[in-house]
Structure 1
Amino acid sequence: MYRNIYVKATFVAISLLLLSGCWNSKELDDLGIVVAVGLDKTEDDQFLLITQVINPSEIATDAPTTRPPVSIYESTGDSVFEAFRNMTQKSPRKMYLSQLRLLVIGNKLAEEGILPSLDIFYRDHEFRTAFFVTIAKDTGVKELLKVLTPYEKIPANKLMHTMEAVESSQGSSKGIVIDELISQILSKGQSPVLPGLLIKGDADTGTSIENIEKIDAPTQLRVDNLAVMEKDRLIGWLTPEESKGLNYITGDMKSTTVSYPCNDKGLVSVEVLRTDSGLKANFKGGEPSVLIELELEGNVTELDCPIDLTKAESIEDINKEVEKKVKQNMEASIRAAQENFGSDIFGFGNLMHRKNPEYWKTVENTWNSEFKELKVDIQIKAQIRRKGNTTQPITKEE
């Protein structure tokens, strides 16, 4: 009997040790929830840190107020961590970083190289790794993060959702999270791309509450095309067509629109609904090459041409025109990467490494030079699945 009492008492004592409570808990009223971080370099080579912090009382209510939904804090430091600590001189609350949605890199830092400054965002346990990394184009990070946005109260959420929408429906950009970015920077066979953010309109007007009180906000935040990196340094920007071409090649194109003129009498528009991209490395006579095989499916969404969609040859003509248009985008992207930038943003080097490790050992340290001369073949197969509710243009003459 005494043995059973002893066992039960021991069990209770151990259980009490496990019920020690939240030893490192912090009250919500003591935290400043950071949703976006801007990072750049100052003229004296210090790190410039900008944080966009939620004002909880403004987010909790739908009633109109005269106070902004977010606040901006700025600090500098010899390191990013020091800049975060120096921010305590201005912020009444400790910065809470687990809800970070967006990291915006300034142009000066991007051109110098971003890898050293990313270390804290990947190493520190307070950061989750699901936030997007972007580059501020033609504007400063502070000016960009100060712009207030309609519809979405929190500007960082607006930018994140816009990037997701562009990636899923338009295809000229895509979201890049920090895990993927660092992996590509450290890879010798692929350089990364990053989405750009810009301000349309006057930056000073965008900081006013009046900016979100109008039907058409005079100052808006936009997601731009993709930035080309050489390892961790910004070296240029792709056009919308080149950005789409890259997403076709890498298999990241989810959906987009392909339009083309027909006999100078109107346009045909096709909604691309699915793509399947395959890359193959070939060695013929010792010379490397890459074959890109792309299959895509789509629907006819708009028809302003005298085309009869009941005829099989009409559908085949549309397939060929779509293939031609998509191939032009892909060729433009490859040409820009090889001739303008000399940076393998497609991962062809990783493909060579997997296919022929012995060959890769001889070129891995000079791959960007080899990449410039790499032959790339493209094969595309388009299939129109649906024609819509009518097989004739509504302007067709009887």
Structure 2
Amino acid sequence: MNLYSKAIFLAVCLLLLSGCWNSKELDDLGIVVAVGIDKTEDDQFLLVTQVINPSEIATDAPTTRPPVSIYESTGDSLFEAFRNMTEKSPRKMYLSQLRLLVIGRGLAEEGILPSLDAFYRDHEFRTAFFVTIAKDTGVKDLLKVLTPYEKIPANKLMHSMEAVQRSLGSSKGVVIDELIGQILSKGQSPVLPGLLIDGDSDIGTAIENIEKIDAPTQLRIDNLAVMEEDRLIGWLTPEESKGLNYITGDMKSTTVSYPCGDEGLISVEVLRTDKSSKAKFEDGDPTISIELELEGNVGELDCPIDLTKAESIETINGEVEKRVKQKMEAAIKAAQEDFGSDIFGFGNLIHRKNPAYWKTVEKSWNSKFKELKIDIQVKAQIRRKGNSTQPITKEE
């Protein structure tokens, strides 16, 4: 290799080994794990960030400093509010580790789509964070509460939301991609999980809140909020929230309990569900057919029932089917009569089945949805009875 070739080779290596042009030192960044947004009384955007205190996270030794800090700013836009935060924060806000976006009630009732633009457009944001609504509390009060067990409150809320969706089914996590897609869809309105402060918010901000065995103030996952396009219009009950998750196929696992006469309860653990929905047309009018199959185990038995008998299992199957169907019907009744908002995506089914018909009702779908006929069929099957086929009291 001659001298000229070596010079070219070295020049190319210098270009390739120049490093990251936009790299930032970790010591210069404030890692944001949760963001709260709302509107102020003078119609400005309120921005609240929950930022990790690295020195408190790196050690397990008890300290008197909180694991996170809160910064607050306002602006005519959220982008401006982020820049205004530099007046208070000693570090640049780093947003790639965002876990949670909490929307205040005022902004949610006004409409959230314009506010989501900043979180979706900026390349620093990943789109895997959950979007929630603060129920009966301000976003700043909620993000200030310190949580036991999980040092970082945003992680606690994220894990709790995943656990509720996985094991109870009264709520579910919604990421920003899914939320924006449903807002822009004419055939489905979104739902969002709610967050609550259980206890005194002032006590929740003190370090003493996490120094007690039973923290006086805790953060709790609430039921699902009903949206019409991008505006908050109401809340589902726990049973209606479960019914919605059955209908949309988001029910992972839950429990179904019912009394057997005056002598006790039976609790069934639902382990898996399989849902199919179809749109049909009868005399030119659409109908929706929902078929739900579920499998479960007997989780608890406090009734004089012999599980070795086939008729006992059939009785349990029938009761589970009836009660699950009641939850699904309650969710549909609330959506049609109380809110007039298609939160199930039935409009999308009709659109795919008959695009020509959909064009005639697309702009007034929520009105048509109120009169939509929906048929529900539920099939339950108990797979396991547990280690005992009769109540323990009877065996003894």
What interval of TM-score do these two structures reach, taking the shorter chain for normalisation?
over 0.9
AA aligned to 1:132 is F
2:129 alignment counterpart: 131
Give the Å deviation of 1:277. 0.7
* Structure 1 counterpart of 2:16, one-letter code: L
SS in 2 for 1:13: helix
Q: Deviations over 1:138-177 (max 9, x none)?
A: 0000000000000000000000000000000000000000
Counterpart in the other structure of 2:317: 319
Q: Does 1:292 align with 2:296?
A: no
Aligned to 1:277: 275
Q: Distance in 1 between matches of 2:347 and 2:335?
A: 13
Equivalent position SS for 1:360? helix
Whether 2:175 is the aligned partner of 1:177: answer yes
Q: Does 1:190 align with 2:188?
A: yes
Question: Quick one: which amino acid aligns to residue 268 of structure 1?
Answer: I
Partner of 1:64: 62
Matches within 5 A, 1:162-173: 162-173=160-171
2:140 matched residue in structure 1: 142
From 305, 309, 316, the equivalent of 2:303 is: 305
2:208 aligns with: 210
1:55 aligned onto 2:48: no
Post-superposition shift, 1:287?
1.3
User: Which residue does 2:376 correspond to in 1?
Assistant: 378
Asked if 1:93 is matched to 2:91, the reply is yes
1:28 equivalent to 2:9? Answer no
> Could you say what secondary structure the match of 1:346 adopts?
coil
Q: Deviations over 1:195-251 (max 9, x none)?
A: 000001000000000000000000000000000000000000000000000000000
Say yes or no: does 1:396 pair with 2:394.
yes
- Correspondence for 1:354 among 352, 355, 358: 352
In 2, Cα distance between equivalents of 1:275 and 1:12: 62
SS in 1 for 2:394: coil
Q: Distance in 2 between matches of 1:235 and 1:362?
A: 26
The amino acid across from 2:32 in the alignment is V
The offset of 1:22, in angstroms, is 1.8
How far, CA to CA, are the matches of 2:10 and 2:391 in structure 1? 79
Corresponding residue of 1:328: 326
- Alignment partners' CA distance in 2, 1:163 and 1:44: 33
Q: 1:24 is matched by which residue type in structure 2?
A: N
Aligned to 2:365: 367
- Tell me what 2:262 maps to: 264
Per-residue deviation at 1:11?
3.8
Q: 1:18 corresponds to which residue? A: 16
Instruction: Report SS of the residue matched to 1:126.
Output: coil
Q: How far apart, in 2, do the equivalents of 1:395 and 1:359 lie?
A: 60
Look up the equivalent residue of 1:228 and give its one-letter code: V
Q: Write the distance in 1 (CA, Å) between the matches of 2:27 and 2:73.
A: 22
Q: What stretches of structure 1 of length at least 5 have no aligned partner? A: none
Task: Give the corresponding residue for 1:81.
Answer: 79
Provide the C-alpha distance between the structure 1 equivalents of 2:285 and 2:351, rounded to a whole number of angstroms: 14
Q: Supply the AA of the counterpart residue of 1:381.
A: K
Q: 1:15: how far off?
A: 2.7
> Between Structure 1 and Structure 2, how many residues are aligned?
396
One-letter identity of the residue aligned with 1:288: P
TM-score under structure 1 length normalisation: 0.98
**Equivalent AA in structure 2 for residue 250 of structure 1:** T
RMSD between aligned alpha carbons?
Answer: 1.0
Could you tell me how far apart the structure 1 residues matched to 2:290 and 2:6 are? 68
CA distance in 1, matches of 2:290, 2:258: 23
**Separation in 2 of the partners of 1:35 and 1:200?**
21
Report deviation, 1:57.
0.5
Report the 3-state secondary structure (helix = DSSP H, G, I; strand = E; otherwise coil) of the residue aligned with 2:280: strand
Cα distance in 1, alignment partners of residues 52 and 155 from structure 2: 11
CA distance in 2: counterparts of 1:31 and 1:15, whole angstroms: 30
Q: Per the alignment, in what secondary structure is the counterpart of residue 395 of structure 1?
A: helix
For 1:382 and 1:16, the matched residues in 2 are separated by: 67
SS in 1 for 2:374: strand
How far apart are the structure 1 equivalents of 2:9 and 2:375? 70
Gap runs ≥5 in structure 2? none
Q: CA deviation at 1:12?
A: 3.9
Give per-residue Cα distances to partners, 1:94-131, cap 9 Å, x unaligned: 00000000000000000000000000100000000000
Provide the residue aligned with 1:159 in structure 2.
157
